[in-house]
């Protein structure tokens, strides 16, 4: 066994012992506008001090990335699962944070992008970027399956990779070579293939300044996970499972007509809030509430962010400019995937909200009244979102019930959405039309309707939601949600 492999084995065992001793604590999640870091789940490395001190500089490793696809990752789609609680945070004490937490690795959620999990990095041996990337990857294989937050999985625990990481960096590309000794990855578990790919790519690119990664094995050979081949460098957007959003996208401008007009002349006062995983699993919501007056317009613009020079930033920032003044400008560190932070500034009667994000997943904008609100939703189950339909409930894997409620949003230029229910043989057993809320332009509108279900049907069922223009048989925006028995 090489010295590098032996050192990595020692570190892995030490990490395992440290993680095993941690008590996973639960606290209810609440939205916040406080300028403090949201408490995080964590695995402590404090118990490693003695073991790590004996290892020396064991991480001189390289992240060699593998696949820069123009669309979603080409690996097998992640299967849906039954509803599970979203990860919540454990309480920590300390001074307000001015930067986001990069001492994290990512654990998988089947049907959703991965979420971050805090670890205490051994400072003495994570001096270089290469060392920090290697430490995060090693931490993944040391994180026990029963130590992850509820509703998540660590597919690298007790898998083929048992230690040995080599990382090199060239610009914003990291190359990571894993010692697998020519063994194949185990992907028999539901969602494992997509989950392993997502965990590796998100964890490696957590390092500030790294946007893409190429994974290889055993000294630079091409690595395969199930049917997925790491053939090119990968970004997070290549593997998160959604249709990609171009970071060069021109910002959206939303003109708001006052009704009844004209717009009130009183000062426009704003306040904002956020919620992660509480609206629906995997959905992040940012809301701007107008307490007086009404903005005549607002704009949204995504841009790539330099997370080396911006301590509070993520890989991207979604900027919202709104007429009016927010009562609470400042910085809120969130650190709940995908929302890392919210920075609010007010200048000359205009408020700018900067949402620091882990990735650039699809978003949906809507406006609501009584009270007037601008609402931005991001993400959700990847299989439940198309370019013009997003189904929030039921979630993939939910059981087919005698009666259930369908909720979601659409940007279709129609006043209705259509739905149908199929049995396990794909026969249509029920269908109908449901109204949607009022919306204009490229905004999204909510829909909510109850379905009677099909008590006589047996086995899994499929809910389909789509829309059609008048006189046009073409079905658009189709979303299929699998309802599973057992």
Q: What is the CATH number of the domain that holds 463?
A: 2.60.40.650
Q: Quick one: tokens of 51? A: 């073991």
**Same domain membership, residue 332 and residue 407:** no
The answer to whether 137 touches 11, Cβ cutoff 8 Å, is: no
Dist. CA 401–CA 416, nearest whole Å: 24
**Same domain membership, residue 99 and residue 180:** yes
**Same domain membership, residue 206 and residue 97:** yes
The reply to whether the predicted model has a pTM over 0.75 is yes
- Residue 440 CA to chain centroid, in angstroms? 28
Dist. CA 107–CA 157, nearest whole Å: 11
Dist. CA 269–CA 189, nearest whole Å: 51
Dist. CA 289–CA 483, nearest whole Å: 35
Please give the pLDDT value at position 26.
Answer: 33
Dist. CA 136–CA 394, nearest whole Å: 35
The answer to whether 269 touches 324, Cβ cutoff 8 Å, is: yes
Give how many domains the chain has, as a whole number: 3
**Same domain membership, residue 419 and residue 332:** no
| Tens-binned pLDDT, residue by residue, of the chain (486 aa) | 555 555 555 555 545 544 554 444 333 333 333 333 444 444 443 333 333 333 332 333 222 222 323 333 333 233 232 333 333 333 333 455 579 999 999 999 999 999 999 988 877 677 899 999 999 999 999 999 899 999 999 999 999 988 889 999 999 999 999 999 999 999 999 999 999 999 999 999 999 999 999 999 999 999 999 999 999 999 999 999 998 766 555 567 776 666 666 676 788 999 999 999 999 999 999 999 999 988 878 999 998 899 999 999 999 999 999 999 999 999 999 999 999 999 999 999 999 999 999 999 999 999 888 888 999 999 999 999 999 999 999 999 999 888 889 999 999 988 999 999 999 999 999 999 999 987 666 789 999 999 876 666 678 999 999 999 988 889 999 999 999 986
Please give the pLDDT value at position 438.
Answer: 74
**Same domain membership, residue 460 and residue 367:** no
Residue 247 lies in a domain: no
Q: How far is CA 104 from CA 21, 136, 278, 414, in A?
A: 18, 7, 22, 44
Residue 66 lies in a domain: yes
Dist. CA 466–CA 477, nearest whole Å: 5
Residue 68 lies in a domain: yes
**Same domain membership, residue 421 and residue 299:** no
CA Rg, the chain, in Å?
23
CATH code, domain carrying 296:
2.60.40.3500
**Same domain membership, residue 11 and residue 157:** yes
Where does a domain end: 212, 239, 266? 239
Residue 245 lies in a domain: no
The packing angle between helices 3-20 and 129-142, to 10°, is: 60
Residue 108 lies in a domain: yes
Structural domain of 141: 3-239
Q: In degrees rounded to 5, what are phi and psi of residue 451? A: -115, 140
Residue 244 lies in a domain: no
**Same domain membership, residue 404 and residue 372:** no
Q: Concatenate the DSSP letters of all residues of 315-364 into one string.
A: SEEEEEEEESEES--EEEEEEETTEEEEEEEEETTEEEEEEEESS---EE
Q: In degrees rounded to 5, what are phi and psi of residue 192? A: -65, -40
**Same domain membership, residue 233 and residue 158:** yes
**Same domain membership, residue 294 and residue 264:** yes
The answer to whether 392 touches 408, Cβ cutoff 8 Å, is: yes
Dist. CA 92–CA 87, nearest whole Å: 16
Please give the pLDDT value at position 127.
Answer: 87
SS3 content of the chain, % helix, strand, coil (to 5): 15, 35, 50
- Strands 283-292 vs 269-276: parallel, antiparallel or unpaired: antiparallel
**Same domain membership, residue 116 and residue 33:** yes
Dist. CA 158–CA 290, nearest whole Å: 51
Where does a domain end: 239, 268, 296? 239
**Structure-token match 């805090």, residue found:** 118
Residue 246 lies in a domain: no
The answer to whether 236 touches 247, Cβ cutoff 8 Å, is: no
**Same domain membership, residue 154 and residue 79:** yes
Please give the pLDDT value at position 261.
Answer: 67
Residue 12 host element (H or E): helix 3-20
Q: Concatenate the DSSP letters of all residues of 386-418 into one string.
A: -SSEEEEESPTT----SSEEEEEEE--SSSEEE
Residue 338 lies in a domain: yes
Please give the pLDDT value at position 53.
Answer: 32
Where does a domain end: 314, 349, 379? 379
Q: What is the dihedral of CA 332, 335, 339, 344, to 10 degrees?
A: 10
CA nearest to 345, candidates 291, 270, 276, 275: 270
């Amino acid at each position: 066994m090489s010295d590098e492999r032996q050192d990595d084995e020692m570190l892995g065992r030490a990490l395992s012992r440290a993680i095993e001793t941690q008590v996973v604590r639960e606290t209810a999640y609440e939205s916040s506008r406080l300028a403090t870091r949201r408490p995080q789940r964590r695995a402590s490395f404090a118990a490693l001090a003695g073991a790590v001190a004996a290892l020396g500089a064991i991480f001189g490793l390289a992240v060699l990335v593998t696949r820069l696809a123009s669309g979603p990752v080409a690996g097998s789609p992640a299967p849906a699962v039954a509803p599970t609680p979203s990860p919540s945070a454990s309480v920590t004490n300390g001074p307000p944070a001015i930067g986001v937490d990069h001492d994290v690795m990512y654990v998988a959620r089947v049907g959703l992008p991965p979420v971050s999990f805090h670890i205490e990095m051994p400072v003495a041996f994570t001096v270089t970027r290469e060392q920090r990337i290697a430490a995060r990857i090693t931490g993944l294989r040391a994180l026990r399956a029963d130590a992850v937050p509820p509703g998540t999985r660590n597919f690298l625990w007790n898998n083929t990779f048992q230690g040995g990481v080599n990382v090199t960096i060239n610009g914003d590309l990291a190359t990571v070579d894993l010692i697998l000794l020519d063994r194949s990855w185990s992907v028999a578990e539901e969602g494992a293939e997509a989950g392993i790919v997502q965990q590796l790519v998100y964890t490696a690119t957590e390092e500030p300044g790294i946007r893409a990664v190429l994974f290889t094995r055993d000294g630079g050979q091409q690595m395969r996970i199930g049917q997925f081949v790491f053939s090119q460098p990968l970004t997070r957007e290549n593997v998160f499972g959604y249709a990609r959003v171009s970071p060069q996208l021109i910002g959206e401008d939303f003109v708001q007509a006052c009704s009844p007009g004209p717009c009130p002349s009183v000062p426009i006062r704003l306040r904002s809030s956020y919620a992660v995983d509480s609206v629906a699993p995997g959905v992040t919501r940012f809301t701007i509430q107008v307490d007086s007056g009404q903005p005549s317009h607002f704009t949204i613009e995504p841009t790539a962010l330099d997370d080396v020079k911006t301590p509070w930033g993520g890989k991207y920032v979604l900027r919202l400019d709104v007429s009016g003044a927010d009562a609470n400008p400042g910085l809120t560190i969130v650190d709940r995937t995908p929302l890392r932070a919210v920075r609010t500034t007010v200048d000359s009667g205009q408020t700018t909200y900067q949402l620091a994000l882990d990735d650039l997943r699809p978003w949906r904008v809507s406006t609501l009244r009584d009270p007037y609100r601008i609402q931005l939703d991001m993400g959700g189950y990847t299989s439940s979102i198309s370019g013009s339909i997003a189904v929030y409930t039921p979630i993939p894997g939910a059981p087919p019930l005698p009666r259930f409620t369908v909720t979601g949003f659409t940007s279709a230029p129609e006043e209705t959405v259509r739905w149908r229910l199929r049995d396990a043989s794909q026969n249509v057993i029920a269908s109908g039309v449901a109204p949607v809320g009022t919306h204009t332009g490229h905004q999204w509108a909510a829909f909510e309707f109850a379905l009677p279900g099909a008590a006589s049907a047996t086995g899994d069922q499929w809910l389909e939601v789509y829309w059609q223009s008048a006189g046009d048989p073409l079905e658009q925006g189709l979303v299929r949600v699998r309802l599973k028995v057992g």
